[in-house]
């Protein structure tokens, strides 16, 4: 059974950093792509980053160069390091898993509809 539990959200000032964590269970390296997504108030959910089973990582243009996705395979934790945060980064952040999506270098991450399993989310607020 796939379970995803996010943590690490909070309130920060513009320009500061946060690291989100997602405890992953029921997922092995070779059977699921893992992603970070967010949903801002009044906006559609968007994919931010995705880690494929071959270790390919892809980022959305809006966060490329500021956000870094990584995974601790020993402890099964997915991370999203967020630097130089902006007020427009304010959103609910989710980690998710997909058994069918795939990530291609230099291409946008999979769309939210391609994910089967979701965490409950962790909220990030960035003040100007």
Model pLDDT for residues 71-119, shown as the tens digit of each residue: 999 999 999 999 999 999 999 999 999 999 999 888 999 999 999 999 9
For residues 34 and 75, give the distance between their C-alpha atoms in angstroms, rounded to a whole number: 15
Closest listed residue to residue 22, CA positions, set 78, 75, 69? 78
CA 7 to chain centre: 11
pLDDT of residue 105: 85
Contact between 10 and 18 under an 8 Å Cβ cutoff? The reply is yes
**Using one digit for the tens of pLDDT, what is the confidence trace for 23-58?**
999 887 778 999 999 999 999 999 999 999 999 999
Dihedral (Cα; 32, 97, 63, 45), 10-degree rounding: 150
């Amino acid at each position: 059974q796939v379970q995803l539990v996010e943590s690490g959200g909070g309130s920060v000032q513009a320009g500061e950093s946060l690291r989100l964590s997602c405890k992953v269970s029921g997922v092995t390296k070779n059977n699921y792509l893992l992603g970070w997504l967010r949903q801002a108030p009044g906006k559609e959910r968007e994919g931010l980053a995705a880690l494929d089973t071959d270790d390919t990582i892809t980022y959305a243009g809006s966060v490329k160069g500021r956000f870094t996705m990584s995974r601790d395979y020993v402890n099964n934790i997915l991370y999203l390091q967020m630097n130089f945060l902006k007020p427009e980064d304010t959103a609910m952040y989710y980690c998710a898993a997909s058994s069918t999506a795939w990530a291609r270098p230099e291409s946008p991450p999979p769309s939210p509809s391609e994910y089967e399993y979701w965490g409950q989310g962790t909220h990030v607020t960035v003040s100007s």
